[in-house]
Amino acid sequence: SPRGKMEGSNFGSNNHQPTEKFHEQASTKAKKCSGVESSVRKSSLPYAGKEMLQYTKDGTVDRRGRQAIRARTGSWRSVILILVNQGFATLAFFGVGVNLVLFLTRVLKKSNASAANNVSLWTGTVYMFSLVGAFLSDSYIGRYRTCASFLFIFVGGLILLALSSQLLLLKPSGCGDGSLSCEHATPMAIRVFYLSIYLVALGNGGYQPSIATFGADQFDEEDEREGQSKVAFFSWFYLALNLGSLFLTR
């Protein structure tokens, strides 16, 4: 090391100590250092055992790829956020799907047959993108990144849908309620509308296959208490999954 070289040069140029004495001092220092290191290792063994108990046993890792610490990751703290997110996501998705036929017929002037056909294609696209999300999650980027990425697309599609409807399609304001007819939309406005609803389909479809298993990953199945919590999680998840249809049913 640089420090060792500096000490060696000082010994050779200024002090002129005998070689035997120099080696004796070096040996004494090495023994002292070895004794200190040994005592540190022995004193740290109990703490190492306690530290190992903090980690999950089922092989789960945190978002940085490190072995998950039980007290700092997962459990109901994370699951509550997942359930709330799922409730709002289903509410938004069903809010779009239930009203899509009426919007197409009253605002975009589509016939009932054409509107129903468009909604069927849109619904099928949602399930098709579910295969894409499941494939990416299991083969490449994992559940956490899959959920985060497709949720970002989903929210972006909802924002674009709201803006395009309010600013480009609902003219005059308040039209489409059955009493006030809307003006004919421009081709650009129609393109933006279809882009937004298919972004919603992409985001929701890619997100749904991974969110249930991602929520279950928050519990260590090798731990008896967390294993029971995992079973309860699926009941709460089913409630959150149907929350949208519960509020939208008249």
Predicted confidence (pLDDT) per residue in 130-185, tens digit: 999 999 988 888 888 899 999 999 999 999 999 998 888 888 877 777 777 888 88
Q: How far apart are CA 169 and CA 108, in angstroms?
A: 8
* Amino acid (one-letter) located at 32: K
Q: Where are the domains of the chain?
A: 2-53, 75-248
More confident position, 130 or 67: 130
How confident is the model over 11-21, as pLDDT tens digits?
334 444 444 44
Choice among 100-114, 162-176, 193-207 with the minimum mean pLDDT:
162-176
Cα 161 versus chain centre, distance: 23
DSSP 72: T
- Secondary-structure class of domain 75-248 per CATH: mainly alpha
Both structure tokens of 230: 């995992």
Choice among 43-47, 55-59, 192-196, 219-223 with the minimum mean pLDDT:
43-47
Both structure tokens of 9: 């040069």
Mean pLDDT for the stretch of residues 4-8: 29
How confident is the model over 225-234, as pLDDT tens digits?
767 777 888 8
The H or E element containing residue 2 is: helix 2-10
Q: How far apart are CA 12 and CA 22, in angstroms?
A: 11
For residues 196, 198, 201, 206, the Cα torsion angle rounded to the nearest 10 degrees is -100
